[in-house]
Structure 1
């Protein structure tokens, strides 16, 4: 694969004259989030009154582990069978732009594994060239962050708080019990004193 990439770079640097594939019109590096769409665009010079049957295009994604076909045109006809399964149903080409010498490919529902180097080879009976750009797809930023597990220190703190609450409730109940105990004792003593006074009066 490394030899293939080097060959494509050499061929790109050697292209001259009337036929050339330019890197994307506005930029050579794209940044996007997954599940979004993006349009990759290259331009190439065309000659008037030339039939598209001589036009051959091969656009590929090159990563560290794999080369995947993004878009393939053979003698003016799109060859969907060549497309890598991961791009199936996610690539749309602009046929009108192609006739004007522009390759416009919209890649929808982006995935993080769409990141990498994109090479687009154009070959006709009067020239050959390669355009390239890099795409970086990041994970969707609005996804919920995973909930952090409770640490031991947090659990210990919660246990201590519960213990203090229990102790406070117990102390409050004990205070109420003591107050009621004194109240009923004083009441009993008062009743006994009244009874003694009544008995002495009776005597």
Structure 2
């Protein structure tokens, strides 16, 4: 049944004109634990309703496809989203009518890397596009430096105070020792 619907949508796009999906960038680079916005555009038709808009975005890996975002009849379907992306993807719905979709992905992980397929279907056409995201491991935080070795010439190193009161010929001898 789904194949028949997709075939009808495809045939409709052939009769009604060209429907195009474009990615804003074909490749994205980010560091883990950072946020990124994936964006693509699609052909719109004046007077069309969001109720006729179907969007399916997924990460394609060797093992399986993971659903990043799913919009069915203009309504988000969070239960179809893969657990890997749960709570980390926000859609900017304000720009859908303009033919743009922005997906904000937060707290990136290295396993978010790979090719992403965007499929868009409307009552006037359908198409798909793909981009790639590469998430690298976060750089280690620089460690605080400890000063080791001897002090620079001309600076004071250690200051010590030595008192000797055991000497019989003096009540108290004091020696101030400076080392540099």
TM-score by length of structure 2 reads: 0.68
Correspondence for 2:138 among 140, 153, 159 = 140
| Cα shift readout 1:116-165 (whole Å, capped 9, x = no counterpart) | 000010001111100110000000012579xxxxxxxxxxxxxxxxxxxx
- How many pairs does the alignment contain? 131
Correspondence for 1:62 among 60, 76, 84 = 60
Instruction: Quote the residue 1:22 is aligned against.
Output: 22
RMSD of aligned alpha carbons: 2.1
| Cα distance between partner residues in 1 of 2:50 and 2:69 | 16
Superposition deviation, residue 19 in structure 1: 1.3
| Cα distance between partner residues in 2 of 1:17 and 1:102 | 19
| Cα distance between partner residues in 2 of 1:65 and 1:108 | 23
Superposition deviation, residue 101 in structure 1: 0.5
How does 1:1-203 map onto structure 2 within 5 Å?
17-23=17-23, 25=24, 27-143=25-141
Identify the structure with the greater strand proportion. 2
Q: SS where residue 134 of structure 2 aligns? A: strand
| Cα distance between partner residues in 2 of 1:107 and 1:55 | 21
Moved over 3 A (4+): 14-18
| Cα distance between partner residues in 1 of 2:141 and 2:105 | 22
Identify the structure with the greater helix proportion. 1
| Cα distance between partner residues in 1 of 2:96 and 2:61 | 26
Please say which structure displays the higher CA radius of gyration. 1
Unaligned runs of 5+ in 2: 1-9, 144-180
| Cα distance between partner residues in 1 of 2:139 and 2:64 | 27
| Cα distance between partner residues in 1 of 2:49 and 2:96 | 12
Unaligned runs of 5+ in 1: 1-10, 146-203
